[in-house]
Structure formats: C-alpha cells, structure tokens
Amino acid sequence: MSDDDLTDPQLASEAELAFEGALRPKSLGEFVGQTRVRGQLQLLLSAAAMQQRTPDHILLAGPPGLGKTTLAMIVAHEGGRPLRMSSGPAIQHAGDLAAILSSLVPGEVLFIDEIHRMARSAEEMLYLAMEDFRIDIMVGKGAGATSVPLDLAPFTLVGATTRAGLLPNPLRDRFGFTAHLEFYDEAELEQVLGRAAVMLGLDIDGPAIAEIAGRCRGTPRIANRLLRRVRDYALVHGGRADVEAVRAALDLYDVDALGLDRLDRAVMLTILTRFGGGPVGLNTLAVSVGEEAETIEAVVEPFLVRIGLITRTPRGRMATPMAWRHFGLVRESEDAGATLPIDDL
C-alpha cells in the first residue's frame, strides 16, 4: 500500500513507523481505552513484580492498528525489562527461533508479531520454551543426530496476532493470558487524537477532533494518520485545524464522513445501484468492482458489516436501510435494481 492509502489499518511506510514511534504511549496509564485489557494486564504485571518473577506469556489478539505492538512495549517498559522484537514471517526455521531464544537475557520480553505466520517447526520448539524455558537442539544429521537440551533464561513471550483462530491449540493454551483488543469508540479516539495533537504541537479544536474521530474506523493508527494529513493541510493553508480544514483535507483524500474510502464506496454503490441492494455473491461483486474477491472479503467487508452498511446472508451481501440513507438513494421496488436519489422524489 502507499502512504496515501489513509484508511488501510496496516502499517504503511518507514516514515509512518517513525511517526508512530513518537506518539506511542509508554505506560498503561497513558494507553487510551481497552479498559478491561488494561486492568487485566495491570494485575498480571503487578502480581509478577510482587513475586519478583517474569510475568506470564501474553497473547494479544485483534485487528491491525489497535495497539498490540504498543502494549508489548508497555509490558517491557512497565517492568523495566529489555525487549526483543521479532515477527512470525522472520522465523521460517526452528533455527531462527533457537538463535533468538538462546540469546535472551533473564526477564527479557520477547515480542513476536504476526505469530500465526511462524514456521510449524519453530512453533513446536516454542511449546517447550514457553513451558519449561528449555529447548532441544538437534546436532548432526540422519542416524547420528542427537538432541541436546539447552536451558533458557526465563522470559515473557508477548505474541500478537490478527488471526487468533489460526493458532494451533497447543500454542494458544500456553499463553497465561489472552487479550482481545476491541475497536475504539469515538470518545476514546478523541482522546487518542487530543494526545497526539498536543505532542505534535497542533492547534486543533474539539469539533475538529470529533470530526476526525468519526472517520477513523475505530482504529488509533488511522486516527493518527488522518491527523497528520490535517496538520499538513492547516500548515499549507496557514490556518487553524478546524472542522472546515478537517473536511477539506479528508475530502481531498477521499475519506468520507463515515470513514469510507474510494473502494468501500465503489463496493457499496455497486451493491446499491447495480444489484438493487442485493443480495449479491462475493465473486460477482468482485468482478463488478474490478477487485480481488479476497480483498473485498478481508479488507472491505468487515468494516462495512461492522458499521452496519451491509449484512451477509446465505444468498450474498445485502445493503441495509442505513446504506441507502448514507448514499442518499432509495430502493425503487423489491425486484428492480434501479434507484433514484432522494432529492428527485
């Protein structure tokens, strides 16, 4: 994706990485929202500190951009522990994992992002490492191969996944605590934005913050990204970041009042105007929009379903009454696909 793809919750670029790093909350107290998860983590970390032991292994599950990496950093920071960062795709052999595990220092926090994408052989090595702080290393090949046990320093594994369902049960069961991160509500996003604006030294008013919060799809990463574009807009136009500036900046980047982008709108308008509101099957929809079915299913649809613009039925995707209203269209009749703008009625 490009840096301009403002509503993609995945991390975009090196520039964004640096920007995010500067805005990341450093403690649980600074971390906005996710009240339940924060309380649970606080308890887990405090109990470990009181008993002077490494905290249990933690699994953070949830969609991209909701704060999993940030929480892993906080777990290390709150306990004054060093942090090692890796990711599933970087661990393609058991040897990759053995190299990391054998060099951990006592109490270190090991963060593995996208842990569901780790190699199967490494996963199996991780079971023993998590349970007994030990791994077996195979030395030699064929009939002469022997396994040599290696003791590890006690560590806390923090795994992050956007696809908790893909993790094998033996791995999932070895985490002492699983946190399910939820999308943020608008009040929480306003707090995220307010905090980021202060850190950026941006002069922005409350209504402008609320306007951005409504468009960022419940995701702090998108909130911060939209704020960056609004800051640019205010800078170039030499004005304050007020509601007008937010609307102008986000209209320029094709992010509408609900946070829909160009592809979301193409999908919705296809369902509404070409298929009379549906039901329409995924593949037919994908061909009509000119996009991969997988992209529609994994990226576009979850958000449209979540905000109530479409429903999934056994016969395909259907637009809801809210969708007709949002696009200013009405369904002409049950069996006809044609639509008329509300203004024409």
Ligand X SMILES: Nc1ncnc2c1ncn2[C@@H]1O[C@H](COP(=O)(O)OP(=O)(O)OP(=O)(O)O)[C@@H](O)[C@H]1O
Give the whole-angstrom CA distance, residue 133 versus residue 143: 27
* 182 labelled ligand-binding: no
Active site residue 284: no
Quick check: is 113 catalytic? yes
Q: What token pair was written down for 324? A: 């007709």
Q: Which of 54, 156, 162, 178 is catalytic?
A: 162
Quick check: is 221 catalytic? Answer: yes
φ/ψ bin of 65: left (φ > 0), alpha (ψ from -120 to 50), beta (otherwise): left
Q: Which of 217, 221, 225, 231 is catalytic?
A: 221
Q: How many CB atoms lie within 10 A of CB 339?
A: 20
Residues β-bridged to residue 147 = 138
Residue 213 beta carbon to ligand X: minimum distance, rounded to whole angstroms: 13
Report d(CA 63, CA 180) in Å as an integer: 9
Contact 107, 79 (CB under 8 A): yes
Pick from 76, 126, 81, 132: nearest CA to 101: 126
The CB-nearest residue to ligand X is 67
Please, which residue, 12 or 125, has the CB nearer to ligand X?
12
Q: How far is the CB of 18 from ligand X (least distance, A)?
A: 10
- What distance lies between CA 40 and its chain's CA centroid? 20
Catalytic, out of 7, 8, 54, 113 = 113
The answer to whether 211 is a known ligand-binding residue is no
Nearest Cα to Cα of residue 184 among 224, 136, 148: 224
CB of 226 to ligand X, least distance (A): 12
For 56, which DSSP code? P
Q: Which residues are near ligand X by CB under 6 A?
A: 10-11, 20, 23-25, 31-34, 64-70, 113, 160, 162, 192, 220-221, 224
Comparison of 12 and 319: residue with beta carbon closer to ligand X:
12
Which amino acids are annotated as binding site for Mg(2+), given as ranges?
A: 69
Which amino acids are annotated as binding site, given as ranges?
A: 23-24, 65, 68-70, 131-133, 174, 184, 221, 312, 317
Q: Provide the annotated active-site residues.
A: 68-69, 113, 162, 221
Which amino acids are annotated as binding site for ATP, given as ranges?
A: 23-24, 65, 68-70, 131-133, 174, 184, 221
